[in-house]
Amino acid sequence: MKPILIIKTGNTLKGVPPERGDFEHWIIAAMRLPEDQFVICNVMAGEQLPSAGHISAAVITGSAAMVSDKLAWSEYTCSFVREAAESALPVLGICYGHQLLAHALGGAVDYHPQGREIGTTRVALTETAKADPLFSNLPAEFPANVSHRQTISRLPAGAEVLAANAFEPNHAVRFRKNIWGVQFHPEFAADIMQIYLAEREQVLLAEGLDVAKLRAQVMQTPEAENLLLRFAQLALS
């Protein structure tokens, strides 16, 4: 069986205890597969991506970087995305990965005009999602953990929105039949979200956000997390 590739584009915050791991560990845990069924490629560190034919699927992680900066390793990853689109390889992008998919496939990414979205929010499925193989088993509305300042400002041609909320119109998108992206973090547990809010408290207060209210609203997001398990099942079926 070909492995699932995790393209590591960033690290979690330093305040996360080392024993809690990083983005890739949370993704693997949610997919409920043995670790030897995954290969991790740290593109930030200059590691070379495998060809699409050597893997069964790919997940692109979140990052503190900005897609609009068009860093060399990020633009290199775009080439992989375009290869995946041509080969029908299943791909899931998370937060930065979601935005990178849009950029790679002809869309545009920029800072969100309303600023930052962080904490536990609720997202609602669109009508299109009801027939989507990845999203169709989700409830019409569900909680999801978020932390982002950039957004897809223009969707690529042919992309379909699968979930949104009042702040973010492109919370989930199907870019191609085999390529999905989510602006939210399905891999974030409630304790991780609390650490993000605590670590960034002074910045959030300076931005006029009610941190106490945001912290009180944090919860587990099992429906969002289920997307990772469902993606693994689809990729390996």
Check 24, 117, 168, 187 and give the catalytic one. 187
State yes or no: is 187 an active-site residue: yes
Catalytic-role residue among 41, 103, 185, 225: 185
What distance in Å separates the CA atoms of residue 192 and residue 230, rounded to the nearest whole number?
22
Selecting among 24, 41, 95, 171, the annotated active-site residue is: 95
Under DSSP, the state recorded for 185 is B
Q: Is 185 a catalytic residue?
A: yes
95 is catalytic: yes
CA-to-CA distance for 13 and 1, rounded, in angstroms?
A: 33
Q: Which two tokens stand for residue 112?
A: 């969100």
Tokens of 7: 């393209």
3-state class (DSSP) for residue 225: helix
Cβ neighbourhood burial of 228 (10 Å; 0-12, 13-18, 19+): buried
Q: Cα 106 to chain center, whole Å?
A: 18
Among 122, 123, 111, 174, which residue's Cα sits nearest to residue 148? 111
Point out the residues that are catalytic.
Answer: 95, 185, 187
